[in-house]
Amino acid sequence: MAPIAHAEDGGGSIRIPASCNGLVGLKPTRGLVTNAIVEVEGLGTSGVLTRSVTDTAAALDVLARHDPAAWWSPPTPRTSFVAAMETDMPTGLRIGALIDSPIDGIHVHPACIAAVDVALRTLESTGQHLVDTLLPLPLTDELVAVFTTLWNVGGAGITLAEPDRVEPHNRALRDAARAIDSWAYAEGVRKTQQLSRRIVEGFLAGFDLLVTPTMACLPPLVGAWRAGTDGDPLRALLNSYPMGVFTSVFNVTGQPAISLPVHHDEATGLPVGVQIVAAPWREDLLLQVSRTLELAHPWTGRRPPVS
Q: What pTM does this model have?
A: 0.95
Q: Is the pLDDT of residue 230 over 90?
A: no
Taking only the tens place, the pLDDT of each residue in 232-264 is 888 888 889 999 999 999 999 999 999 999 999
The mean pLDDT value for 147-164 works out to 84
| Average pLDDT of the chain, as a whole number | 93
Contact 289, 54 (CB under 8 A): no
pLDDT at residue number 268: 93
pLDDT at residue number 306: 66
Taking only the tens place, the pLDDT of each residue in 27-36 is 999 999 999 9
The mean pLDDT value for 21-26 works out to 97
**Which residue pairs, CB below 8 angstroms and at least 24 apart, start in 155-162?**
none
pLDDT at residue number 52: 97
Q: Is the pLDDT of residue 307 over 70?
A: no
Taking only the tens place, the pLDDT of each residue in 6-16 is 999 999 999 99
pLDDT at residue number 301: 86
The mean pLDDT value for 203-210 works out to 98
The mean pLDDT value for 216-231 works out to 91
Taking only the tens place, the pLDDT of each residue in 160-204 is 888 889 888 888 888 888 888 999 999 999 999 999 999 999 999
The mean pLDDT value for 120-135 works out to 97
pLDDT at residue number 286: 98
| CA–CA distance, 38 with 31 (Å, rounded to integer) | 8
